[in-house]
Structure 1
């Protein structure tokens, strides 16, 4: 047997369909998966990419909410009272709520306050006269250009009230409704 050559006949499929007779897993040596599994995998990957993009976008623009019965406008929450109190008592009530009397920054804000107080009642805002200068409770001086001369007739011990779209003075011990403002909750 030494030096003998052995021959073997291999029978392999031949013809135009020969390669299709083998299972795809045998051809590539990988598990076979139906075509719809592959499609679903691509759809799932695309969904994950979209979900990640949405999370990133929403993470950069937080949602703002206000407590019940408060109104959101721009970056502040507002609440209008139904009771009547003096300016000092009104500020105390706002403080107890973790807020302050409203500080009006511009005409749009004033228009918004007019809309949430739609009645003829007067409301205290965070404005008072001190040393012949109108100041907001934040310490900032009133921009007279924005509210041109509306408060020029005030006497000492005057505080600001809003009625509709008008700011006017009244003695701080008078009783009116009041408007509190606070920062919204970010979620």
Structure 2
């Protein structure tokens, strides 16, 4: 069965749109109140124990460095002493030694020794040669024996040496003026002390004599120092440290 057609009038009205936006009276505005609140400041509290820990570590490493330095110095000194003793023994060319019971304060040492035909005095050994040579050759001969020309450090030492010398001879000692400027030097670098010398009354003299000999002056009946040409031939006196075993 066919249904009847029903017609209805429908009117469409266009509502105005303002600025392309549809206004809604029910809309509400929400304001951000968070901007009005004060911001919280985070306070970082320092650890009071941290600086103390750093200070303790610094002190620890400082003490460790000091102890290490002291240990190195002691080891170096011990090593130097061993090298010096070894060097001296090698220079002696296995010469026979004359040893006596040690009464000094040297630790762990029982005997003090000098090579045969050397004379001991106050921790040193002395050798007097009857051969003659120039000053430089004399020093070379002493060096080959592991020694050096005599270095006089006291009147007692000089008296001990001169008691066995021939007063008609002169003996080179380890004092010279290499540049001829009045700058006297000992061969072992012992400082020259003007107040601890044994020059004869008229010495030092001469402008071409820059080496020193021990000589006897009959007019004063005593031994003293005299200058001599370095290329002159004189006897020699060698000196070395005693060996402790």
Aligned residues, how many?
A: 131
Higher relative contact order (Cα pairs below 8 Å, separated by 6+ residues): 1
Match of 1:161 in 2: 213
Q: 1:92 aligns with which of 137, 140, 145?
A: 140
Match of 2:171 in 1: 123
**How far did residue 146 of structure 1 move?**
1.9
**How far did residue 134 of structure 1 move?**
1.2
Q: 1:77 aligns with which of 118, 122, 125?
A: 125
**How far did residue 66 of structure 1 move?**
0.7
Under a length normalisation based on structure 2, what TM-score does the superposition of the two structures give? 0.49
Match of 1:173 in 2: 231
**How far did residue 185 of structure 1 move?**
1.4
CA distance in structure 2 between the aligned counterparts of 1:74 and 1:61, rounded to whole angstroms: 16
Runs of at least 5 residues in structure 1 that lack an aligned partner in the other structure:
1-56
Match of 2:240 in 1: 182
Question: Aligned pair in 2 of structure 1 residues 185, 149: CA closer, same or farther (>3 Å)?
Answer: closer
Deviations 1:21-71 (A, max 9, x none): xxxxxxxxxxxxxxxxxxxxxxxxxxxxxxxxxxxx995564312111000
Contact 1:101-1:125 within 8 A present in 2 as well? yes
Question: Aligned pair in 2 of structure 1 residues 118, 156: CA closer, same or farther (>3 Å)?
Answer: closer
For the aligned residue pairs, the C-alpha RMSD in angstroms reads 2.1
Runs of at least 5 residues in structure 2 that lack an aligned partner in the other structure:
1-104, 217-222
Under a length normalisation based on structure 1, what TM-score does the superposition of the two structures give? 0.63
Match of 2:29 in 1: none
